[in-house]
């Protein structure tokens, strides 16, 4: 037994070393990845139940490293944020999406919006608004084609500045959305505080919907109703089953996003869904 324990320790320290090695590799390759074109964007449709159409897409970053393999944004976005690299990479994301919107427009596809995730640090950077303006101008797209998704952490540090930037974005014509709603520590009053037009309800609520305890269901219904009464649109995240879809329909949910409709996919495939989407 003693020997086995020893082997386990060796195994764990080896695993730890591998983990450290991986973390080091990732951290060391974040910048190069940008210049080597290892990042790319995928697009996940958001389906509107009221008109049975895909009315927007959420742009999500991917990283395929020849050295490390594919790395989840859950792993590398925080590293980009910690190192301030989220500013240049965030700028690249904006430009990439704006150009895609233009490309789609030239192909005759323009009846939808595209949502972009914006990190707090990126949004608070002094050049942010100028970057947004110049990227929109360069791509020659309407700012109305874009939705910026931010999380509630934006209001934690400097809610006055956050409010100012969000309202500046609105004045530019860009729509703003509150992402992952209901997961953090914020209260409903954040909906009153921030100039946002859309609430994205976190996947957690959708996962909890079918549990015995109906508390989450009551809360979810409350969120849907409140957002509606405040004149905001709602997107239900992480809808994976038709059972969830039926429940959400009955609750008066407006827009849904999740694997049931489609996983995030490359632009060429995402646009195909405009032509032939299943009616839900
Ligand atoms: P998020 O903004 O909440 O994005 C939704 C995440 O849920 C995406 O994960 C998406 O692939 C996943 N998802 C969508 N539908 C389903 C479903 O039905 N079931 C399940 N289990 N998952 C679903 P992804 O692409 O791995 O991104 C994770 C997070 O990384 C994002 O969460 C966002 O916070 C961040 N992120 C991704 N792309 C970007 C980006 O371009 N910029 C910034 N700043 N952050 C990004
Ligand atoms: Ca998002
Ligand atoms: Ca989300
Ligand atoms: Ca999230």
> Any idea which residue has 């530019």 for tokens?
172
Look at strands 233-236 and 175-181 and give their pairing: unpaired
| Residues written for the chain | 280
196-224 pLDDT per residue, tens: 999 999 999 999 988 877 888 999 999 99
152-190 pLDDT per residue, tens: 888 887 889 999 999 999 999 999 999 999 887 778 889
Q: Whose CA is nearest to atom 21 of ligand 1?
A: 238
Pocket of ligand 1 (CB under 6 A): 44, 60-61, 72-74, 77, 93, 117, 119, 179-180, 238-240, 257-259, 264
Q: What is the pLDDT of residue 102?
A: 98
pTM (2 d.p.): 0.94
DSSP 260: T
The closest-lying atom of ligand 1 relative to the alpha carbon of residue 240 is 18
**Cα 55 from chain centroid (whole Å):** 16
Alpha-carbon dihedral sign for residues 148, 150, 155, 161: negative
> Any idea which residue has 């869904």 for tokens?
273
CA of 205 to the centre of ligand 2 (A): 15
Cα distance between residue 132 and residue 137, in whole Å = 9
Please choose from 34, 41, 61, 73 the residue to mutate so as to test ligand 1's pocket, defined by most ligand atoms within 8 A of CB: 73
């Amino acid at each position: 037994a003693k020997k086995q324990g020893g082997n386990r320790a060796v195994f764990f320290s080896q695993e730890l070393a591998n983990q450290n090695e991986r973390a080091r590799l990732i951290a060391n390759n974040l910048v190069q990845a940008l210049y080597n074109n290892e990042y790319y964007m995928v697009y996940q449709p958001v389906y509107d139940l009221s008109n049975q159409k895909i009315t927007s897409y959420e742009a999500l970053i991917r990283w395929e490293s020849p050295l490390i393999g594919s790395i989840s944004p859950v792993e590398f976005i925080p590293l980009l944020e910690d190192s301030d690299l989220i500013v240049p990479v965030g700028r690249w994301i904006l430009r990439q999406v704006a150009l895609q919107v233009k490309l789609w427009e030239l192909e005759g596809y323009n009846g939808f919006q595209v949502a972009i995730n914006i990190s707090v640090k990126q949004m608070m950077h002094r050049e942010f608004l100028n970057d947004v303006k110049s990227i929109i101008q360069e791509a020659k797209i309407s700012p109305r084609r874009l939705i910026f998704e931010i999380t509630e952490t934006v209001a934690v540090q400097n809610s006055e500045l956050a409010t100012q930037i969000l309202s500046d974005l609105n004045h530019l014509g860009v729509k703003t959305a509150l992402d992952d709603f209901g997961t953090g520590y914020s209260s409903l009053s954040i909906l009153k505080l921030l100039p946002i037009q859309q609430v994205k309800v976190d996947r957690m609520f959708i996962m909890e919907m079918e549990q015995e305890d109906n508390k989450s269901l009551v809360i979810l219904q409350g969120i849907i109703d409140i957002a509606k009464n405040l004149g905001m649109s709602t997107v239900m995240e992480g809808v994976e089953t038709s059972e969830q879809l039926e429940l959400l329909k009955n609750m008066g949910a407006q827009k849904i996003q999740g694997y049931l409709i489609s996983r995030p996919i490359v632009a060429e495939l995402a646009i195909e869904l405009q032509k032939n989407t299943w009616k839900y």
